Amino acid sequence: MVEQWTISEIRSKLLKGAISAKELIQELLSYIENHNSYINAYLTITAESALKEAEEFDNNRKLLEEKPLGGVPIAIKDCLCTRFIRTTCASKILENFVPPYDATCVEKLRKAGAIIVGKTNMDEFAMGSTTEHSAFGPTRNPWDTDRVPGGSSGGSAAAVASGMAPCALGTDTGGSIRLPSFYCGVLGLKPTYGRVSRYGLIAFASSLDQAGPIARTVEDLAILAEVISGYDPKDTTSVKKEVPRFSEILGTPVKGIRIGIPKEYFQHSIDPEIERAVEESIKVFRTLGVDFVEVSLPHTDYGVAAYYIIAPAEASSNLARYDGVKYGFRSPTEKPDLMEMYLNTRAKGFGAEVKRRIMLGTYALSAGYYDAYYIKASKVRRLIQQDFLKAFEKCDALITPVAPLQPFKIGEKLEDPLALYLVDVFTLPASLAGIPGMSVPCGLSSRGLPVGFQLLGKYFDEEILFRLAYAYHREIAYSPQIAILS
């Protein structure tokens, strides 16, 4: 039953001695062993180190008591560096990369006592919305294994949804925490840009990347957010701001909070069940005394175009370091020729989507095109940010769908990159603006697939997202289900 426990249940069982940390990890590992082969959520399972750390807790009760996450298993997306644990970014080019250091968010989790049970699958270098662009095969949606789990943090979301981990870390550059959380029926938070250190997060698009938690309950999400947030001198874009105790403000009443409904998010052809889920949740919020107001975010439609210039531009620069020289994969060459080595290494090491992004980005940044593409996209980004600032003059938070479509079949859109990019239409604007966003599950659609909604907040106001999500789940008596694995 370990697959169903929340963080606080795990903690209370460990503290009461109802189960030892080692037994708990053993049970979880055997559950993972039974299910990972067909879900493919984990790329690496760290059984040995997890059991060793669990034993340390069993041998030292004081340690277990002191650490807020003492003995709690967690899964980490494979673009976050983990000391002495292989970190691949789901790419051939980093297939054997073992970092000598932890990402700051990982280090903070370890300090709090969390036990890493494995590294999760993702779209290569986090470029994608389905986890199909992994060099190690797609992750399957545990609710329907023919369908995508969303991406790029699909492994983390699928692991949490299927009970292979109580909680996980993902990263979100344009929706990669929110979309897979939505598609897998779990909670996911993309914090404000600057809230969580990016040190050790392998860069995709540095001005957008943020790490964040994925969990099955609002409480668990809040506990993790609290642990990983905060200023870090190793990341100059992290912000010196006090981190609120998210887990302690959850029960505060939401009466009088004003939520904006951005009309542009409802003009697209959205799956009717997704639209209904948002409408139903609005009704629930109304009964809690939340007020609603219509707002306009007029530049929403330009988000996809702006993002798919800015993110590839940054990626083309960030990924220049994978050249076969310093680390990672190096392709053998017939004769000792540096250029041939570079070309072969990058041709063989990167997958098709990553190459597409590098080409898009290089083109957008090249002389003669820079102003027309990159500068223009940056201006649009500013307009999108201003839209949000203006909307937040009238309200405290926003409610929107997470994506226009329910999880689709694996392979269905793989040949059509533009169709895949359009799935991000509702998550990209918040990333471009840098505001926090949360995916909140509501239940299942008539097809048995998860539905939910997205809450967006003002800069550094994750607190309101937590309060709203908590009040909503309490009101509908939400109880997380483990995806039935068939």
**Rule CB under 6 A: which residues touch ligand GLN?**
126-129, 152, 172-176, 204, 311, 424
Backbone angles phi, psi at 365, to 5 degrees: -95, -5
Q: In whole angstroms, how close is the CB of 172 to ligand GLN at the nearest point?
A: 5
Burial readout 133-146 (b: 16 or more C-beta within 10 A, e: otherwise): bbbbebbbbbbbbe
d(CA 6, CA 21): 15
CB proximity list for 469: less than 8 A, separation 6 or greater? 187, 218, 221, 438, 440, 455
Catalytic residue among 13, 77, 92, 413, which? 77
3-state DSSP assignment of residue 358? helix
3-state DSSP assignment of residue 417? helix
d(CA 153, CA 146): 18
Catalytic residue among 91, 129, 152, 316, which? 152
Q: Which is nearer to ligand GLN, 2 or 423 (CB)?
A: 423
Q: Which is nearer to ligand GLN, 89 or 223 (CB)?
A: 89
Strand partners, 119: 44, 76
What is the DSSP track for 200-236?
TBPPSSTTT-EEEEEESSHHHHHHHHHHHBS--TT-T
Q: In whole angstroms, how close is the CB of 478 to ligand GLN at the nearest point?
A: 26
Per-residue tokens: 330:
């190096």
d(CA 229, CA 213): 10
- Dihedral (C-alpha) 134, 238, 183, 443: value to the nearest 10 degrees? 160
Q: In whole angstroms, how close is the CB of 36 to ligand GLN at the nearest point?
A: 22
Q: Which is nearer to ligand GLN, 44 or 129 (CB)?
A: 129
What is the DSSP track for 79-146?
TB-BTTB---TT-GGGTT---SS--HHHHHHHHTT-EEEEEE--SGGG--SSS-S-TT-PPPBTTBTT
3-state DSSP assignment of residue 434? coil
Q: Which is nearer to ligand GLN, 311 or 399 (CB)?
A: 311
176 noted as active-site residue: yes
Catalytic residue among 129, 153, 156, 176, which? 176
- Dihedral (C-alpha) 208, 237, 242, 248: value to the nearest 10 degrees? 30
Per-residue tokens: 76:
């980490």
Q: Which is nearer to ligand GLN, 175 or 434 (CB)?
A: 175
Three-state SS annotation for 18-58? CCCHHHHHHHHHHHHHHHHHHHCCEEEECHHHHHHHHHHHH
Q: Which is nearer to ligand GLN, 134 or 345 (CB)?
A: 134
Name the residue with the smallest CB distance to ligand GLN.
176
Q: Which is nearer to ligand GLN, 94 or 341 (CB)?
A: 94
Q: Which is nearer to ligand GLN, 128 or 194 (CB)?
A: 128
91 noted as active-site residue: no
CB proximity list for 323: less than 8 A, separation 6 or greater? 342, 345, 346
Catalytic residues: 77, 152, 176
